[in-house]
A and B are shown apart, each in its own frame.
Chain A
Amino acid sequence: MSELQFTNDKDIIIFHILKFCLLIVMLVMVRPVLAIDVITHQSVNVSAIDTTQLRRIFTMRQQRWSDDTPIVVFVLPSQHDVHIQFATQYLKIFPYKLDRIWNKLTFSGLGVVPRKISSQQEIERLVRITPGAIGYVDKVSEGGHINVVKMSK
């Protein structure tokens, strides 16, 4: 493959300007991916979880851990920034679709839905005290008595 060859200084300047513009466009287009901590009650014996399983849990298709403990799911309100980010980046599902699934379960009598909690601090507190619980926050405020689960893929 032949390398780029510039015949004069003008071409070199144009090349650098284009490179700079491309960099700016990429910086604008790529949204920052903020880390979210997926947290479970300390009794939950799961250190890593993949997107497929996380999705099953939050769409209420898996309701028990592998040791048969019932899973208690806590979520933030649908329009909360952390919820939107968690749904789209961690569950690979749009928040309105989660609402549709939960509405169908709630108003058809077919099943139960995650408990909606207004603040991250409250989710963290509830996950600490509820056996089998799972939730998410943008950052766990303090360690101990809670598991932060790694995303395995």
Chain B
Amino acid sequence: MLLKCQSEHIVKKSFIQGGLFLGALLSFFSYSQELNNKSWQTHGFLSQGLINVNGTNFVTDNEGMSTDLTELGINASYQLNDVVRLTGQAVYLNGGNRFVEGARIDYALIDFSVFQNEHWLVNFYLGRYKNNNWLYSSTRDVPHARPSIILPQSVYFDGFRDIAMGSDGAALKISYSGEHIGDIDINVNYGASSLSRKDAKLLLGDSVSGKGEQEFDAQFSIYWQPEFSPWQFGFSLLDSDFNYQHVSTDMFTDAGFSFQQYTGNILYEGEKWQFSTEFFQQNFLLTGLYFDGFSKKSIGQGAYLQAQYQYSSHLSLLARAERFYVDKDDKNGSQLAAGSFGLVPHYFAYQNDLTFGVYYDINASLRLQMEYHHIAGTARLTPIVMPDAQRNDQEDWNILAMQLMYWF
């Protein structure tokens, strides 16, 4: 009974929070046209979808159609003077079990225009900045600016959403456009994200009582697009450390998590066809957590290949194949299953996704998107440290999702 009351309270609170955010968004939108002038810019998006996951608790603990697919966002930018710009974005997200439900500040920063001329742009950002280092990292929650409703979980793992989205710190962007070289963009950032107890529970499991903290997050990326070329090439590096401090009632001990990732990407944008791929290797070192002195090192690998075809100015089709392995030396999960005495099935060691999607632009600001995923493996389900093998007792599962989105 108590659980039922708490659950109803949470639903009610979420509903009120989402409603308030939507109200604020709509009233802001009504003024946005008047507000947009030389110094001000405001933009936003509203979307609601239906999602049906068959076989796992990726979105909900119960199978069936769910409305846990809401994304609302509003941003504003104000040019204070020739050098300084203030900007920020707030979003409300509800993705069920995928990430923590609620409103949050995506970015809130001061943008200093350090240097610029006809060929160079150098900007320094201070505050909460967004991760701009992967192909879709800065627009992963922006429905009309990403290729699919559910992004490739190997790179854009929803469980890491709040950590991977951005950090509090500083970022530098250097852009060069040359007549023969083409366009080059370099991004460097250093900061840290705060981890809420909900985030810790999402990643480590419900039994967590202690506190998690990101010590630092350092990232670098470089992108190059040859002049007038449909091709773009990118490479990024990520280095980050986390720690976990246990409490006396905890089943875990203190822990350290060290994480490095190397990602490459290629994008082709033709008149009708678009191709994109991202491929990465990540080194992961876990110390402690289960008992003092415990240590485990693994090297994960992932990649996807995506094709989009613009059938008409309104209709676009998508197909994507994706592979992810938690440990490249245990791709079939046999060591994982043996090491956990069979408690964690072998298919928690990988996740392979085959996706087909379509979207239709009803007009320049309204889109309907649909997609189907067939997935083998459950490596990208939360929690990752203590996987829920009881609820996720199938290797093969699928997702059917539909989303209506509006932006301005």
Residues of A within 8 A of B (CB): 52-53, 56, 61-64, 66, 70, 72, 77-79, 92, 94, 96-97, 100, 103-104, 106-113, 115, 130
A3 smallest CB distance to B (angstroms): 40
- Residue B269 at the A interface, CB < 8 A? yes
Q: Can you offer 25 A-B residue contacts whose CB atoms are under 8 A?
A: A52-B177, A52-B227, A62-B177, A64-B117, A66-B118, A70-B82, A77-B364, A78-B364, A103-B144, A104-B145, A106-B75, A107-B73, A107-B75, A107-B138, A107-B145, A108-B130, A109-B75, A109-B89, A109-B106, A109-B107, A109-B111, A109-B130, A112-B41, A112-B79, A115-B41
Contact A56 B138 (CB under 8 A): no
Q: Interface with A: B121-129, B287-295, B335-343, which one?
A: B121-129
Nearest to A76 among chain B residues (CB) is B364
Decide: A94 and B271 in contact? CB cutoff 8 A: yes
Given contacts A53-B118, A70-B82, A96-B310, 8 further A-B contacts (CB under 8 A): A52-B179, A56-B177, A100-B145, A104-B132, A106-B41, A106-B43, A107-B45, A110-B138
Question: What B residues does A64 contact at CB under 8 A?
Answer: 116-117
User: Are A111 and B107 in contact, CB atoms less than 8 angstroms apart?
Assistant: no
Query: In the complex, how many angstroms separate the beta carbon of B309 from the nearest chain A beta carbon?
Result: 12
Chain A residues closer than 8 Å to B183, beta-carbon distance: 61
Write the B175-210 contact mask toward A (1 if CB under 8 angstroms, else 0).
101010001000000000000000000000000000
Chain A min CB distance to B222 (Å): 15
- Interface residue ranges, B against A (CB under 8 Å): 36, 38, 41, 43, 45, 73, 75, 77, 79, 82, 85, 87-89, 106-107, 109, 111, 113, 116-119, 121, 123, 125, 129-130, 132, 138-139, 142, 144-145, 173, 175, 177, 179, 183, 227-228, 269-271, 310, 313, 361, 363-364
The reply to whether A104 and B364 contact each other, CB–CB distance below 8 Å, is: no
Q: Which residues of B are found within 8 Å of A79, using beta-carbon distances?
A: 313, 361, 363-364
- Cα-based distance from A56 to B178 in the complex (angstroms): 10
Residues of A within 8 Å of B85, CB to CB, are 112
Given A78-B364, A104-B139, CB of A113 within 8 Å of CB of B41: yes
Q: Given contacts A52-B227, A70-B82, A103-B145, are A110 and B123 in contact (CB under 8 A)?
A: yes
